[in-house]
Structure 1
Amino acid sequence: MKRLGKAEGGVRQALEYAFHEGAQFVTLTDGKTWSFYLPAEHGSYEDRRVFMLDLFERSASESAEVLYRYLDQERVASGEALETARKEYRNKNRRLAAREAIPESWHELVERKDKQLVELLTDAVESKSGIRPDEKDILNFLSRKLTADVLVPVHPPKPRGGTSSRETKVPRNIKSTDKRSFVLLGERFSYGPAIDAMVLILSELAKSDPTFLQRCSEHPAFRGHKRKYVARSAVELYPDRPDMAEKYRNLPGGWVAGTYLSNQLKIKIIRGAAEVAGITFGRDVIIDF
């Protein structure tokens, strides 16, 4: 149990203590957010978090269901709660592994000019145009597609005039655990609080694409159950909480970003921003709070 707003700062201490004591399941809360961890599993602290419940973001019925799933006395005593958490952890990691394999699998299909892929594309063209295309045209298209996927970056930030002190290129083997800095498209940025990193990433990506923040606002990662995380006005960020109206940061083009966010939500927003920009989190955006 931590003071309100301090739960994220106690993750390392809680998991290390649990690991040494042999605890298999950990709940960390500040009263508002409830995080459930499997301390003995592999990966970063975020990887070992099975679920994070934000009472501000969820309805009463949703919150009750989550708390029952992990903390009901009978389920905990029987081991059912622990088994549920382990199953969800495995499913989450399997889905992530599959998702990350999609680009490489597509690349391989195009590179070897997979027969089924060629036939599917040929049939689709014939259905749309009424004319069956020549196989050579299909193969040439796939070759160009392969080259474009490899060589053309999507929405790269435009260089600003003059020489920037942040233009140092980062080697490929840079680690995401470098303290208080992140890497965006090969450029390292320093930051203070975690919210600074989120706002800076959104701002940098918005500089080269005037539609970026609009598209972000339509992405599921930028919306909670009751509020938006990026909007045109602070009122949209906290529709039911006028007392929170000042908790925001300005973004380019008159947009604003809410700051009353857990670190898990900030990472979710950054991942969503990478998807909108057409870049890869963990490669083009390297950060870990």
Structure 2
Amino acid sequence: MKDSLITAINEISNNKSLFTLDEASIKSGIILKFLSLLGWDPFNINEVKPEYTIESKRVDFSLRITGINKVFIEVKRPSENLEQHQEQLLNYSFREGVKLSVLTNGLTWWFYLPLHEGSWEQRRFFAADFFEQDVNAIANRFVELLSKSNIDSGVAIEKAENLYKSRQKKTVLKEALPKAWDKIINDPDDLLVELLIETTEKISGFRPDVSNIEKFLGNLHQGTASIEESRVIPSAQTEQSGVPQRHPRSQATGYINKKVQLIELLGKTYHPRSWKEVLIIVSKEMFRRHASDFDKCLVLRGSRMAYFSLNSNELSQPVNISDSKYFIETKLNANSIVKRSLDLMGLFGYKDSDLIIQAQ
């Protein structure tokens, strides 16, 4: 069971086109597959009940044992904000006395103990992210919390309660917080950069540009929190061999404080003058090749910002793509530009290796 889950999770995390799927496709292509791997019979409506009715409302799936609702699962498409649907799911679960519920878009899974006290977030005891977390750890949790045998025996609820209140949660958080901080400093989110820009302007009256902030954060990561002392330190790979950096998704970082030298996109070499131009080149080439279904790009959004839009007013520094109706956000740091480029390419079936970047 665990090995099959690991294989399925890896397939999903390597398939960026899943971001474009609708809710129905997520249900049939991901949710039912995982339930089957976890020992449930998706063809038995007495076991996996779709569109379970609660008064005039419906929950997407109810997992049932001998006619009793054990788990409610609510499914959304990947482009939706899950936070907006927590209250609805937990209200359904509370009314029906269901002890365990799951809110998912197929890529991110949030687990809740609905009958506990506290806010929606406080009742969420575990979150699985197929793109960020260790696949073995996710598979173990899925077996513990959602396998039919554990649901039937009550072990799943015991495991959930233990996760909710045990020291294990504290230990994991204690280990994860420094890693999270390190990731933020080494690969700052665009919202963090913008927040620092605005706060600095409020304090000093002067507005720093993005490069100032990136240099500051880079130096902070190295233990020297200043802008003036910042300098580019070539990577060992660049110094020793001059070999272009290749970047599987897990390594699409480390570009801050570096200058792009050249890129190879689908075998063609370009010499962009800035990181901003890298994203523009990639976007134009993807539009040239896939104009008919370029709407896919609109699913690429952060938690509070869009990266592509039909409305230029939605973006901070919009650039039009090839005189089309599409605009792209260019107010991004170097790492984010690489990630957005790879995400866009992935939507159309290209591999990370189709984009090679050389930077110093």
Q: Same fold (TM over 0.5)?
A: no
TM bucket, shorter chain:
0.3 to 0.5
Task: Output the TM-score relative to the length of structure 2.
Answer: 0.33
More strand by share: 2
TM value normalised by structure 1 = 0.40
